[in-house]
Amino acid sequence: MKAAILHASASSLLIEDVPCPVVTPGHTLLRVLACGVCRTDLHIFERDLPTMRDPLIPGHQIVGEVIDGATKELPLGSRAGVSWIGGIDGTCPFCKRSEENLCDALSFTGYTIDGGYAEYALVRSDFAYPLPDNVAPQHLAPLLCAGIIGFRSLRVAETRPGERVGLFGFGASASLAIQVLRHWGCEVYVSTRGEQHQHQAQQLGAVWVGSEIDKPPVALDCAVTFAPAGAVVIAALSSLRKGGIVAINAIHLDQMPAFDYDKLLWGERQIRSVANMTRQDARDFLTLAQEIGIRPHVRTFPLDQANNALQAVKHETADGPVVILP
Ligand SMILES: [Zn+2]
Ligand SMILES: [Zn+2]
């Protein structure tokens, strides 16, 4: 099969012919129909995250067709989706507490195990989710990480229907989260850099839009930060009402600046990080996205232009999420 491969010593992905994976017990073989490109892929590519597998096929927003290793839930020929969490051990203290997103021995799709920048992908059957086949695969791919983890961020921030919610940074994840918030009748305040993102936030129903670290004109019930910058977290924190929560949706943050405890955190305000996702988050969000009819506007690249796809994410040149089509 053809795959875009990251070698530890190389500065770009190489398009190579490699053996197609063979199905093993507990696994399902997918013919990849689309694979979303996430900012985390860029962190892996640029070694902001340590190398875990060499060589590696990146990609953790996989939409595929089941061609071998079918299960009752995933019959042959059906659509399946795979996200960032590719497996857990099921035995560690966190798994026993039903906190599988914090498992001590997580497998990460497209990071510790091969992902979806390829024609085929072998995945754990119990970490693949049924997807509808009446939606184009490229519209489903961004839901699988940007969407699910954005949704988990809203849960971590304890967002309730009708509340005033701040989104700081407005990339792929936020542009999906805002659609859930609007569905819940929330008032959404968006602070983001770039006219394009500000315009998009307005179009998707934000009641107020400001630049990167602008403070919304009202006190927020909760906020989610998407920009990988500590200064943005502080801007979000300073926008909260007493008892409000800011959830940080970033796997990597530059650094947290010092801040004034008395003014910003006192009053039971909270800062929380969002780590990974659970299968329940995935199932709940994918059901909700189908109900709302979320169809992200995407930019697609063929597999042999995977490097260009990564650059489009890096330089934010695409108008919406980036998706690779094999
Ligand atoms: Zn991701
Ligand atoms: Zn575990």
Q: What are the tens digits of pLDDT across the range 228-255?
A: 899 999 999 999 999 999 999 987 788 8
23, two tokens: 């199905």
d(CA 37, CA 186): 28
Residue 286 covered by a domain:
no
User: 217 C-alpha vs ligand 1 centroid, how far in Å?
Assistant: 31
Q: Residue 127 contacts by C-beta under 8 Å, 6 or more apart in sequence? A: 82, 83, 85, 86, 87, 109, 279
78, two tokens: 């059906």
Claim to verify: residue 83 and residue 57 sit in the same structural domain: yes
CB within 5 A of ion ligand 2: which residues?
88-89, 92, 95, 103
Claim to verify: residue 174 and residue 120 sit in the same structural domain: no
Residue 241 covered by a domain:
yes
User: 232 C-alpha vs ligand 2 centroid, how far in Å?
Assistant: 32
Claim to verify: residue 319 and residue 256 sit in the same structural domain: no
> How many other C-beta atoms are found inside a 10 Å radius of the C-beta of residue 94?
17
Domain residue limits at 103: 2-135+295-325
104, two tokens: 């001590």
Q: Say whether pLDDT at 105 is over 80.
A: yes
140: left (phi over 0), alpha (psi -120 to 50) or beta: alpha
Claim to verify: residue 113 and residue 196 sit in the same structural domain: no
In this structure, which ligand is nearest to the CA of 141? 1
Q: Which uninterrupted H or E stretch holds 210?
A: strand 208-210
User: 85 C-alpha vs ligand 1 centroid, how far in Å?
Assistant: 10
Q: What is the pLDDT of residues 49-84, one digit of tens each?
A: 899 999 999 999 999 999 999 999 999 999 999 999
Claim to verify: residue 126 and residue 158 sit in the same structural domain: no
Claim to verify: residue 57 and residue 107 sit in the same structural domain: yes
Residue 284 covered by a domain:
no
d(CA 215, CA 213): 6
Q: How far is CA 99 from CA 164, 295, 315, in A?
A: 28, 30, 35
> How many other C-beta atoms are found inside a 10 Å radius of the C-beta of residue 189?
24
Claim to verify: residue 267 and residue 300 sit in the same structural domain: no
Residue 66 covered by a domain:
yes
Residue 173 covered by a domain:
yes
User: 266 C-alpha vs ligand 1 centroid, how far in Å?
Assistant: 33
Residue 225 covered by a domain:
yes
Residue 85 covered by a domain:
yes
CATH code of the domain in which 198 resides: 3.40.50.720
**pLDDT interval class at 316 (50, 70, 90):** confident
Residue 279 covered by a domain:
no
User: 97 C-alpha vs ligand 2 centroid, how far in Å?
Assistant: 9
**Percent of the chain residues topping a pLDDT of 90:** 91
Domain count for the chain, please give it. Answer: 2
CA angle (312, 141, 169) in 5-degree steps: 55
User: Which of 300, 307, 253 shows the shortest CA–CA distance to 275?
Assistant: 253
What is this structure's pTM? 0.94
User: Which of 312, 310, 324, 322 shows the shortest CA–CA distance to 43?
Assistant: 310
Claim to verify: residue 10 and residue 123 sit in the same structural domain: yes
User: 83 C-alpha vs ligand 1 centroid, how far in Å?
Assistant: 8
Q: What pLDDT sits at residue 214?
A: 86
d(CA 286, CA 71): 19
Claim to verify: residue 75 and residue 116 sit in the same structural domain: yes
Runs of H (alpha helix) within 3-131: 39-45, 93-96
Claim to verify: residue 306 and residue 194 sit in the same structural domain: no
User: 87 C-alpha vs ligand 2 centroid, how far in Å?
Assistant: 9
In this structure, which ligand is nearest to the CA of 110? 1
Q: What pLDDT sits at residue 52?
A: 95
CATH code of the domain in which 14 resides: 3.90.180.10
Claim to verify: residue 67 and residue 155 sit in the same structural domain: no
Q: Say whether pLDDT at 292 is over 80.
A: yes
Claim to verify: residue 185 and residue 310 sit in the same structural domain: no
In this structure, which ligand is nearest to the CA of 41? 1
User: 193 C-alpha vs ligand 1 centroid, how far in Å?
Assistant: 21
